[in-house]
Every structure is written in C-alpha cells, then in structure tokens.
C-alpha cells in the first residue's frame, strides 16, 4: 500500500502553508543559497502536477547582478504606471509599499510556460491548463522554500516582454512568474497587506458555497 501520512504530518503541512509569506527586499539577508538547496526548491517544482503530464515549464536561475538590474529597471517603469491606477489615500499607501526584492535576493527565478505544438491531453477544453500547471510548480517551490526557512517574493509588476528580451527567451515562451528567493531574518506573522489594512480577510461565507452559487450568497451565513 502507498505511504499513509499521519495527522501530525498533515498538521505540519498546515503550519508550513499557514506560515508562508510573500517576502519583500527589505527582509532578505545576503546569505547565499547553495546549489543543493536550490535543487530542493527546483525538485519540488518539477514534482508538480501538469496537464497531460506535459511538464510545460522552464526555469531561468539568475544570480548575476547585471541581469537583476535590467529586470529591476522594468519593475521601476511598471510600478510608476501601476501607482497611477490608484487614487488618493490608496495611491499614497501604494507608494510607501516595498513591492519587490529583485536586487536584494541572492537568487531570482524566472518561470516560463512553453506551449507544446498540437493537442495536449486535458487542455483541449480549457486552454489555460498549461499555464496553470506552471503555477502549481511555483506554489510547490514556494512551500518548499518556507520549509527550508527561505523567503520567496512573487514580483508581477514587471513587463513580461521586457523580461523575455533580457533573458533571451524564445518567442513562444510566456513569463508566468518572477520570484525573488533568499533567507530572511524572520517571516511576518500575517500578510503585510492585511496588517496594513490594504484589503480585509474574506469570510468563509463570502467564498464557499454548497451545491450551487444559490446556497449561501448572503454574508454572515455559515459556510
């Protein structure tokens, strides 16, 4: 029979999931990440589910400052445009947030989706399934990092086309995620955007329904 995990095992996973954070550059230490440790992160990613076992992912490991600086330049441009989409107090709050750690993190990781020519089993009705497989790999890696007490920040305020040029990506490669990876002094107790009041935590009754969306659409009802 295949391995049975215990309730203690399951609780440990719950703790890793609950204590994972999105880490920004003001929290990364300069301590390097060795190749064996990086391998553990990548192995977790490579053991993700993929639609039709297509494994449609590619990873670029970046340690050189020269490459990071070019990506950071794209962040600066996109962040300036992004800030303009918020108004008043929200814009002031936005401008005070530290939203990336590209230069501070010892390792950056760019993760791409490489579509396969022809039909992919399981992707014939839902075209995004290949992209979603790549995201599953990212989430596996993120949890593995937390279990190794390594912080990860997902930076999405960058221009995917600029990053492709910087990394000499093939034309059909699609940037799915750009991660900053490094050891940290500590992990915040809860998401920073929750602590700062940027967004409230949603209640279960807002997001969980039974049988159909008709079941408990009103807030306050038990889920």
Please list every residue from 56 through 115 that binds a copy of itself, using CB under 8 A: 57-64, 67, 78, 81-82, 85-86, 94, 97, 99
Phi/psi at 125 (nearest 5 deg)? -105, -25
> Of 53 and 221, which has the nearer Cβ to a copy of itself?
53
By CB under 8 A, what part of segment 18-37 binds a copy of itself?
Answer: 18-20, 22
> Of 94 and 115, which has the nearer Cβ to a copy of itself?
94
Q: Minimum CB separation from a copy of itself for residue 104, in Å?
A: 18
> Of 30 and 214, which has the nearer Cβ to a copy of itself?
214
Contact 99, 79 (CB under 8 A): yes
| 3-class secondary-structure state, position 64 | coil
Q: Minimum CB separation from a copy of itself for residue 118, in Å?
A: 8
> Of 26 and 149, which has the nearer Cβ to a copy of itself?
149
The size of the interface with a copy of itself (CB under 8 A), counted in residues, is 108
> Of 21 and 104, which has the nearer Cβ to a copy of itself?
21
Q: Minimum CB separation from a copy of itself for residue 209, in Å?
A: 5
The two three-digit tokens of residue 117, written as one number: 């020519």
3 touching a copy of itself, by CB under 8 A: yes
218 touching a copy of itself, by CB under 8 A: no
Going 11 to 47 to 113 to 61, the CA torsion angle's sign is positive
CA distances from 83 to 75, 76, 80, 88, 193 (A): 12, 11, 5, 11, 16
| 3-class secondary-structure state, position 90 | helix
By CB under 8 A, what part of segment 141-180 binds a copy of itself?
Answer: 142-144, 146-149, 154, 156-160, 166-170, 173, 175-177
Which residues, other chains included, contact 215 with Cβ-Cβ below 8 Å and sequence gap of 6+? 209
> Of 33 and 169, which has the nearer Cβ to a copy of itself?
169
CA 137/CA 47 separation, integer angstroms: 7
Q: Minimum CB separation from a copy of itself for residue 138, in Å?
A: 7
Provide DSSP, 105-169.
Answer: SSEEEEEEE-PPSS--TT-SS-TTHHHHHHHHHHHHHHHHHHHTTEEEEE---S-HHHHHHHTT-
48 touching a copy of itself, by CB under 8 A: yes
């Amino acid at each position: 029979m295949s391995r049975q995990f215990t309730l203690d095992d399951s609780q440990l996973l719950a703790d890793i999931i609950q204590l994972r954070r999105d880490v920004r550059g003001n929290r990364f230490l300069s301590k390097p990440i060795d190749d064996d440790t990086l391998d553990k992160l990548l192995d977790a990613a490579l053991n993700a589910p993929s639609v039709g076992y297509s494994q449609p992912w590619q990873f670029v490991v970046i340690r050189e400052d020269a490459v990071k600086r070019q990506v950071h330049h794209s962040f600066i441009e996109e962040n300036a445009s992004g800030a303009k989409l918020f108004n008043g107090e929200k814009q002031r709050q936005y401008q005070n947030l530290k939203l990336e750690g590209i230069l501070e993190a010892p390792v950056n990781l760019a993760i791409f989706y490489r579509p396969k020519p022809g039909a992919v089993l399981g992707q014939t009705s839902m075209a995004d399934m290949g992209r979603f497989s790549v995201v599953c790999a990212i989430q596996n890696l993120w949890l593995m990092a937390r279990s190794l007490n390594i912080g990860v920040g997902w930076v999405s305020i960058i221009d995917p086309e600029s990053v492709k040029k910087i990394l000499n990506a093939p034309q059909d490669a699609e940037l799915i995620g750009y991660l900053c990876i490094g050891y940290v002094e500590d992990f915040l107790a809860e998401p920073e955007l929750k602590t700062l009041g940027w967004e409230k935590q949603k209640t279960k009754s807002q997001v969980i329904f039974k049988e159909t969306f008709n079941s408990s659409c009103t807030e306050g009802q038990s889920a």
